[in-house]
Amino acid sequence: LVDGRLLDWKGEMQIVDSAIETGVDGVYAPKRIGSCPLMDGAAGAEAVASVQKAWDHGMGVWPTMSVADRIAHVEEFTHRMIERREEIVRLMLWEIGKPYKESCVEFDRTVEYIRDTIDALKGLDRASSRFVIQSGIYAQIRRAPLGPTLCMGPYNYPLNETFATLIPALLMGNPVIIKPPRHGKLLFVPLMEPFRDCFPEGVVNLVFGNRQLIKPILESGAISVLAFIGSSEAANAMRLSHPSPNRLRCILGLGAKNAAVIMESADLDLAASEAVSGSLSFSGQRCTALKILFVHESLAEEFIRRFNEGIKSMPIGMPWDEGVRITPMPEPGKIRYLTELLEDAEAHGAKVVNPGGGAVDRSLFHPAVLYPVNGAMRVYHEEQFGPVVPIVPFRDIETPIRYLIESRYGQQMSIFSDDAGEVASLIDPMVNQVCRVNVNCLCQRGPDSFPFTGRKDSAEGTLSVDDALRCFSIRTLVAAKGTPRNKT
Ligand code: G3H
C-alpha cells in the first residue's frame, strides 16, 4: 500500500507455517499458508515519495489536521480492524506459532492500547493548548509532529509492538511507512484495505520486503524518525544507513537479558512459579523474559526441584492445541543456536538438570534448565530468546550486582525476598542499572501505561501510552507581543 494505492507487485514471498515445519509425525513438511509481495528498492523509493508528499501536504491534511479529526480516522480504522479479529489472530498463530489464546490476548491488548492512547492524547492536547504570559510575551506551547516515520515491529509481538509505535506516531500527525517483521507479516495483509480506506493518501504506507527495501528508504534521508523494536545490531545498521544519523530520531526497543535474584529469605514457591512463567512464556521469546536466574546457593537444589515441577504447567505442542504454552519457534536457525548454548555450557561444567531438556525437532525445543552456570559460559552473557534457563548459584549479593553492572543490557530485573529492609537496601544499586525493578514478581512490559524503556543497549526513548505521544512529537512555541488585529 503506497500513496493510497495497492500496488500490483510482481515479486512474491511464500510464507510457510512454523508449526508444520516441525512435522507433526517427525516428517519435515512445510506448508504454504500464504504470500506477501516482495518489494525492492524501487518500491522503497515510491514509499519515500509518498510519505514525503503526505508530510509536505498543504493545510489540514494530516500533519496539520485537528487532533479530533485524526482521532476519528484512527477510531474508524480500529473498528475495521476489530471486524477482522479472528482472521488476524489465526494468521499470527500459524505464522509465528503463538498459541491461540495468547494471540487473542495480543490482539485485544492492541485494541486497548489504541483506545488508551486516544484518551491520553485528549488529555495531552487539553494540557498543551494553554496560553502562558511571561515578560510581556503571549505564548502557546504546542506539540507538533516530527516528520516521516518508519515503523518496524518484532516477530514475537508483530501486531502489538508495531502498533505501540504506529499509533502514537500517527495520532501526533506523522505520516508513516510500516515494514512488518520477517516472521509475522501475513497478518498485515487483512489490514491493508482498512489502512487504505481510513487514512488520507500517503499517510500510511505498508511495504513488505527485507534489507533491499529498507536500506534505500533510510539512505534517502527523508525519514525523520526510526521507530524499531528488535535487535540492537539491526537498529545500529539502520541508523548508519541514514545520511545524517545524528539527525534521525530513534525510538527503539531492543535486546535485554533480564535477571531474577532469589534471595535466601524468598518465598520459594512464589519465586519458582514466577520464574517459570517469566522465563518460559511464549517459549522465552519475549524481550522482557527472565533470561538468567541467580539463586542463593543454600536454596539452589530445592529451587531447581520446584522449577522443574513448574515446567509441567508449560505443555509443549502445536499452537492451536488447547492449553499449550511451548510451541514451534519461527526463526530457522534458533534450534541450532540454543543447542550450541547447551553444548558450550556443558563443556564448561554445567548440566541440563531437567528431564527431556533440549531440541525436539526442527523448530520445537523442550525447556532446558542449566546448572551451575558461570561467567565463562556464553549463556551467561548472550540473549537466548528461547526456552533455555541458566541458573547461577550465589553466596554474595555482589555476584548479581556485578552481573547487572557488566551486562550490555539494562531493561528490567526481579528480586525475590521476604525481607523488606533487604529489598529497600538493594533498590538503588539495582534501579541504577535497569529501568524497572520487580519485587516478588516476574519482569513484564505491562500495564502498557507504565513507562517501558531500558538503559545501555536495551532501548532509546520510552514507550508507554503517554510517553510515546511525547516521543513522536516536539514542543513548539507560538509567541507574540500583543495579539494580531483584524484589518477592517
Ligand atoms: O518482547 C517484548 C515485549 O514488549 C514484552 O511484553 O512483557 O507483555 O510479554 P510482555
Tell me the per-residue pLDDT of 206-250, one tens digit each, with 9 for 90 and over.
999 988 899 999 999 999 999 999 999 999 999 999 999 999 999
ipTM passes above 0.85 = yes
Better-predicted residue by pLDDT, 415 or 477: 415
Q: How far is the CA of 376 from the centre of ligand 1 (A)?
A: 29
Q: Quick one: cell of 400?
A: 548479581
Peptide bond into 372 cis (omega under 30): yes
The arithmetic mean of pLDDT across residues 177-197, rounded, is: 96
Write the burial class of residue 422 (CB in 10 Å: 0-12 exposed, 13-18 middle, 19+ buried). Answer: middle
pLDDT at 471 exceeding the cut of 60: yes
Q: How far apart are CA 7 and CA 46, in angstroms?
A: 10
Indicate the range of 23-27, 182-186, 341-345, 447-451 predicted with least confidence: 23-27
State the residue for C-alpha cell 511451548: 326
Q: Quote the percentage of the chain above a pLDDT of 70.
A: 95
pLDDT band at 30 (very low <50, low <70, confident <90, very high): low
pLDDT band at 35 (very low <50, low <70, confident <90, very high): confident
* DSSP of 188-212: GGGGHHHHHHHS-TTTEEE--B-HH
Q: List, for residues 285-300, the tens digit of each pLDDT value.
A: 999 999 999 999 999 9
124 CB-near residues (< 8 Å, 6+ apart): 143, 466, 469, 470
- Half-sphere exposure of residue 465, counting CA atoms within 13 Å on the CB side? 21
Indicate the range of 14-23, 150-159, 256-265, 385-394 predicted with least confidence: 14-23
In ligand 1, which atom is closest to the CA atom of 286?
1
Q: How far is the CA of 56 from the centre of ligand 1 (A)?
A: 35
In ligand 1, which atom is closest to the CA atom of 444?
7
Q: How far apart are CA 401 and CA 259, in angstroms?
A: 10
In ligand 1, which atom is closest to the CA atom of 282?
9
pLDDT band at 27 (very low <50, low <70, confident <90, very high): very low
Are 357 and 365 within 8 A, CB to CB?
A: no
Q: Between the CA atoms of 390, 393, 396 and 402, what dihedral angle is there, to the nearest 10 degrees?
A: -20
Q: How far apart are CA 485 and CA 479, in angstroms?
A: 15
Q: How far apart are CA 458 and CA 395, in angstroms?
A: 28
Of 157, 281, 383, which is best to mutate to test ligand 1, by the most ligand atoms within 8 angstroms of its C-beta? 157
Please name the amino acid found at residue 274.
E
Mean pLDDT of the chain: 93
pLDDT at 361 exceeding the cut of 80: yes
Q: How far is the CA of 439 from the centre of ligand 1 (A)?
A: 18
The arithmetic mean of pLDDT across residues 402-425, rounded, is: 97
Q: How far is the CA of 287 from the centre of ligand 1 (A)?
A: 6
The arithmetic mean of pLDDT across residues 170-184, rounded, is: 96
Indicate the range of 120-134, 232-246, 394-408 predicted with least confidence: 120-134
The arithmetic mean of pLDDT across residues 259-282, rounded, is: 98
| Ligand 1, atom 4, residue with closest C-alpha | 445
Residue 24 has a pLDDT of 45
Residue 19 has a pLDDT of 57
The arithmetic mean of pLDDT across residues 60-84, rounded, is: 95
Q: Specify the 3-state DSSP secondary structure of 17.
A: coil
3-state helix, strand, coil in the chain (%, to 5): 40, 20, 40
Q: How far is the CA of 286 from the centre of ligand 1 (A)?
A: 5
Q: How far apart are CA 241 and CA 139, in angstroms?
A: 38
pLDDT at 305 exceeding the cut of 60: yes
pLDDT at 488 exceeding the cut of 70: no
Of 106, 107, 161, 441, which is best to mutate to test ligand 1, by the most ligand atoms within 8 angstroms of its C-beta? 161
| Ligand 1, atom 6, residue with closest C-alpha | 445
Q: Quote the percentage of the chain above a pLDDT of 90.
A: 82
Residue 59 has a pLDDT of 63
Q: How far apart are CA 392 and CA 372, in angstroms?
A: 6
Q: How far is the CA of 288 from the centre of ligand 1 (A)?
A: 5
Residue 31 has a pLDDT of 72
Q: How far apart are CA 40 and CA 353, in angstroms?
A: 48
406 CB-near residues (< 8 Å, 6+ apart): none
pLDDT band at 302 (very low <50, low <70, confident <90, very high): very high
Residue 7 has a pLDDT of 82
Better-predicted residue by pLDDT, 17 or 102: 102
What is the crossing angle of helices 268-280 and 300-310, to 10°? 50
Please name the amino acid found at residue 284.
G
Q: How far apart are CA 140 and CA 126, in angstroms?
A: 12
Residue 277 has a pLDDT of 98
Going from the C-alpha of 444 to that of each of 36, 226, 383, the distances in angstroms are 32, 24, 16
| Ligand 1, atom 7, residue with closest C-alpha | 444
In ligand 1, which atom is closest to the CA atom of 164?
4
Pocket of ligand 1 (CB under 6 A): 156-157, 161, 286-288, 444-446
Indicate the range of 33-42, 202-211, 301-310 predicted with least confidence: 33-42
- Please state whether the predicted TM-score (pTM) of the whole model is above 0.90: yes
Q: Specify the 3-state DSSP secondary structure of 123.
A: helix
| Ligand 1, atom 8, residue with closest C-alpha | 445
CA 99 to chain centre: 18
What is the crossing angle of helices 211-219 and 232-241, to 10°? 50
Beta-bridge mates of residue 205: 177
pLDDT at 22 exceeding the cut of 60: no
Q: How far is the CA of 446 from the centre of ligand 1 (A)?
A: 8
